[in-house]
Amino acid sequence: MPIVTIQITREGTTPEQKAELIKGATDLLVNVLNKPPALTFVVIQEVELEDWGVGGVPVTEYRRQTATPSPG
């Protein structure tokens, strides 16, 4: 009985996108590990943007630092 947890930042992910994540994770476990879909659980956890960090800084700062300048 596999359980997959997907954590994403809370930025307006649609129910359709979440359904695609659930299907994709389930299909992956079926294809790679031969797990039955009816016994595969997928949990999506949405994390507030200010509670997420990467590269030692809050994600908003990381995005600011790594943003590609617009041409012009």
Active site residue 2: yes
Cα separation values, 63 from 2, 38, 58, Å: 33, 38, 9
The pTM score is 0.82
What's residue 72's pLDDT?
A: 66
| Residue whose entry in the numeric block shows the structure tokens 């129910």 | 15
Residue 70 has pLDDT above 90, yes or no: no
Pair of tokens at residue 65? 């630092």
Q: What is the CATH number of domain 3-66?
A: 3.30.429.10
Paired residues of 45 in beta bridges: 7
Q: Which of 2, 15, 36, 58 is catalytic?
A: 2
Each residue of 10-63: pLDDT tens digit? Answer: 999 999 999 999 999 999 999 999 999 999 999 999 999 999 999 999 999 999
Q: Domain limits of the chain?
A: 3-66
